[in-house]
Structure 1
Amino acid sequence: MFGFDTDLDAFKIIAFVFPILFIFVFASIFLTLLKVLKQWNYNNKQPKITVPATLLTKSTKVIQHKRNQYIMPSPTSYSLTFEVESGESIELSVDGLTYGKFIENETGILTYQGNKLIHFER
């Protein structure tokens, strides 16, 4: 007769796979949170520095996830590269709203801490 074999019941498979998927998702969230907290802690331990600077470049990085023929929504990271008066280039991570407020070759007073932009006054 047609049907499921009693040894390979769909409920048994789900009961086996679900905990593994739950642990994988929980571990991914935990590791991402740990990475964010580590970067936050690093930035907060750095001194706040205020220097004259020029915005050299704006850049974005898009990570595309392609599954079969569909392109999945992708996270985008934004960064601004400033040149300070000593000639050193500093790349700072920003969010999308902050990224859109800047124009390349602007000059002003830059305040940053670690790799976090605090303020840029034109």
Structure 2
Amino acid sequence: MGSDSYWMFDFFGSVMPVFLVVVLGIILLSAGKNILQWNRNNHQPQLTVDSRIVSKRSEIKHTHAADDSSASRPRTFYYLTFEVESGDRMEFAVSGDEFGICAQGDEGRLSFQGTRYLKFERNPKSRHEAAGG
């Protein structure tokens, strides 16, 4: 009977440290991946190319508040997909403001650095094009 009552202490003494190391490892790998991507982007040249917006999308993710596990806070992420002259397409995360003023079909100059979106300058449309003729 004495050895049966200590099984829980053996479980927490041997399994929990392994579990904590795995969780900590996942967190560190994720942070390391983001730092490496940031560093790679910094070493890429800033490019500006002619492009056209071919797609817009948004994604809503829910995060749980730290103070109350039952509360959920939605956060919206915005993405624009650009097609460049070569036919290649690139998707970038953008701010909500930038997302709101862009429309599918807009043409202009896309500036980016690696996977980092910098800006999009729309080509001004002439009155003739805007009138549809």
TM-score, normalised on structure 1?
0.68
Report the equivalent of 2:35. Answer: 37
Alignment deviations for residues 64-120 of structure 1 (CA, whole Å, 9 cap, x no partner): xxxxxxxxxxx9875432122x33323133156367433211122211111211011
Report the equivalent of 1:50. Answer: 48
Report the equivalent of 2:80. Answer: 80
Q: Does 1:27 align with 2:25?
A: yes
Report the equivalent of 1:121. Answer: 121
Matched-pair contact (CA < 8 Å) for 1:46–1:113: yes
Evaluate the alpha carbon distance shift between residue 78 and residue 21 of structure 1 in structure 2; reply closer, same or farther with a 3 A threshold.
Answer: farther
**Count of matched residue positions in the alignment of Structure 1 and Structure 2:** 109
Measured in 2, the distance between the counterparts of 1:44 and 1:119 equals 16
Measured in 1, the distance between the counterparts of 2:93 and 2:21 equals 31
Alignment deviations for residues 7-66 of structure 1 (CA, whole Å, 9 cap, x no partner): 42x23311222211110111101111121122112211111111222111234679xxxx
Q: Summarize the alignment of residues 63-74 of structure 1 with structure 2, pairs less than 5 Å apart.
A: none
Aligned to 1:105, what secondary structure does the other structure show?
coil
Measured in 1, the distance between the counterparts of 2:13 and 2:97 equals 46
Amino acid at match of 2:9: F
Determine what percentage of the aligned residue pairs are the same residue.
Answer: 32
Report the equivalent of 1:71. Answer: none
Measured in 1, the distance between the counterparts of 2:18 and 2:97 equals 39
Tell me which structure has the larger Cα radius of gyration. 2
Q: Can you give the 5+ residue segments of structure 1 that lack an aligned partner in the other structure?
A: 63-74
Q: CA RMSD in A?
A: 3.3
